Chain A
Amino acid sequence: MNSESKNISGLLDAIGNDELTQATNDRIRERKIISNLIVLRTSQGSSQSDIAQEMGCTQSRVSKLEQGVDRDLKISDIEAYMRCCGHTLSANFLPSNWTIMDKVKHHAFEIVRQLQAMCELSNGDETMEAGAVRSHVETLSNMVRLILESAVAIPCVKSEISNLTDGTSGSARDVPSSSLIVSEIEGQISEPV
């Protein structure tokens, strides 16, 4: 008899030992950055020796770093490790009392800032402007799709969609689908070009 779980929490639930769950979650929490660095390295197929060579240190130092905890990491080590993996370090300083909605807004404004940077960069160049328009449409289309996909996890939205699929809802014709919303928006944005 076997059981399926989406993540480590499912396995810990099956074990049902609060102390072990606490100890494991503590361990995961104190190694969050290191774990991300390890995933980054292996997903690129790099070994500890490859990173050591790039960082100009020994393989055992990289091994020691990977076996440690986040609080012992130096920013310079993280930067060097990430640079070897072709990444740069970017830090967010967010108020600790921020809600999830505050974070959603923060990221939404960041997307707008990046799009505005693209607009400034493309200013005066026809090819780049056309590319910028395509990027805006793509971003909008993806955001609408992703947000609708997330909304499906809300039970009342899920049941509304299932009613629409069954054709049992009287208001089915009044509710536009996500693809229709996206295509309408795309049409409106693309028109002036």
Chain B
Amino acid sequence: MWTMIHEVAVVKQIKSFEKRWKHEVANVLSNLKTLHDALLAGTKLEQLKKLGFVHSEPQGVLAIDQKGHGKGTKPKALRLYVYPDFALKKLHIICLADKSQQSRDIQLVLKYVENLHRRQDETDSRESD
């Protein structure tokens, strides 16, 4: 059973973007549900990249966009960065951002994933001791 893990920071980011871009945020969250359903159906990482609203980033990170039926003529481009941990079946919801500082956001997300791996390695080595 795949569960979702979210940081307090991402909840704050969603609340912040929701004030001006509610329909886009709703689309992102609806797409997040579809991605979660795909994981529950046993979809692998390479297959997830074939979801029309998913962009592949390094280290297995996926960026979910706001594509989908919406109101307004020019939707705001958003990215919800997630990391599916296939070993523990946990979907980490890391960060919601627009594209204004995309490369910086991606670096922060990659740092999160590195820290996650480091913590897991530490836990594994403690358990083996």
Contact = CB atoms under 8 A, between A and B. Distances in A.
B8 interface: yes
Contacts of A23: 22-23, 25-26
Nearest to A20: B18
Interface in A20-69: 20, 23-24, 26-28, 30-31, 35-36, 38-48, 63, 66-69
Range of interface residues on chain B? 35 or more
A26 to B, nearest CB: 7
A42 B30 contact: no
B47 A10 contact: no
Given A3-B5, A6-B3, A67-B69, A38 B34 contact: yes
Interface stretch (A11-19, A108-116, A135-143, A164-172): A11-19
A4 B4 contact: yes
Contact of A30 (B7, B44, B52, B69): B69
Interface residues of A, number: 41
A6 B38 contact: no
B11 A7 contact: no
A2 B5 contact: yes
A69 B27 CA distance: 12
A150 interface: no
B29 interface: yes
B32 interface: yes
Interface string B53-68: 0000000000000011
Contact of B22 (A5, A7, A19): A19
A8 interface: yes
B8 A1 contact: yes
Contacts of B48: 42
Interface string B85-118: 0000010010000000000000000000000000
Interface of A: 1-8, 10-12, 14-15, 17, 19-20, 23-24, 26-28, 30-31, 35-36, 38-48, 63, 66-69
